[in-house]
């Protein structure tokens, strides 16, 4: 069948096959091989490849609870230690965002009457990240250099 195709088409098809064979397609996150023990249990993060050949990958621990959910009798009280969990917790998903009242940015014309254009553009980018809101929102996202072991403690923000 390829013998009937023009030479250019054969070259394009060959190139596409080469690209498909050599492309690394991942269906999900690449989990870290390291398991970290913290006071409440063990966690395993993911390896995040950055979009630059000059930057090394980062190990990320998403949604690590740092306090018990502030609901029921714990609402409006000082944070309490979270309950320990059995086994290893996969820290691959962001925790919920604390409830927030945001301005309506669905109608651009109306929104620009009450805010500057820069704020409107910022909020348009931010709103999709704030979909998962809950009072159970006391989580940390921890980013660690992905290369090697650290001989000393690193600061966290």
DSSP string over 17-86? HHHHHH----SS-EEEEEEEEETTEEEEEEEE--S-TTS--EEEEEEEE-S----GGGTTS---PPPP-S
Return phi, psi of residue 32, to 5°: -70, 150
Helix (H/G/I), strand (E/B), else coil: 136: coil
Q: Which of 58, 39, 42 is nearest to 50 (CA)?
A: 58
pTM: 0.71
* Strand 88-90, strand 41-48: pairing: parallel
In the block, residue with structure tokens 């001989």: 151
> How confident is the model over 104-156, as pLDDT tens digits?
999 999 999 999 999 999 999 999 989 899 999 999 999 988 776 666 777 76
**Lowest-pLDDT choice from 20-29, 97-106, 132-141:** 20-29
Within a 10 A sphere around the Cβ of 43, how many other Cβ atoms? 23
Tens of pLDDT, residue by residue over 33-88, are 999 999 999 999 999 998 888 888 999 999 999 999 999 999 999 999 999 999 99
Nearest to 37 by CA among 64, 58, 63, 69: 64
């Amino acid at each position: 069948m390829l013998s009937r195709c023009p030479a250019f088409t054969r070259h394009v098809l060959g190139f596409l096959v080469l690209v498909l064979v050599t492309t690394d397609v991942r269906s999900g996150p690449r989990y870290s091989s390291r398991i970290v023990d913290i006071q409440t249990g063990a966690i395993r993060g993911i390896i995040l490849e950055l979009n630059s050949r000059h930057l090394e990958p980062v190990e990320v621990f998403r949604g690590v609870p740092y306090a018990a959910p502030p609901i029921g009798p714990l609402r409006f009280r000082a944070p309490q230690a979270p309950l320990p969990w059995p086994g290893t917790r996969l820290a691959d998903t962001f925790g919920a965002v604390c409830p927030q009242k945001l301005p309506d940015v669905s109608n651009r014309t109306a929104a620009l009457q009450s805010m500057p254009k820069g704020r409107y553009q910022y909020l348009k980018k931010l709103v999709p990240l704030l979909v998962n809101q809950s009072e159970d929102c006391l989580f940390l996202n921890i980013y660690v250099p992905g290369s090697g072991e650290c001989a000393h403690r690193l600061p966290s923000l």
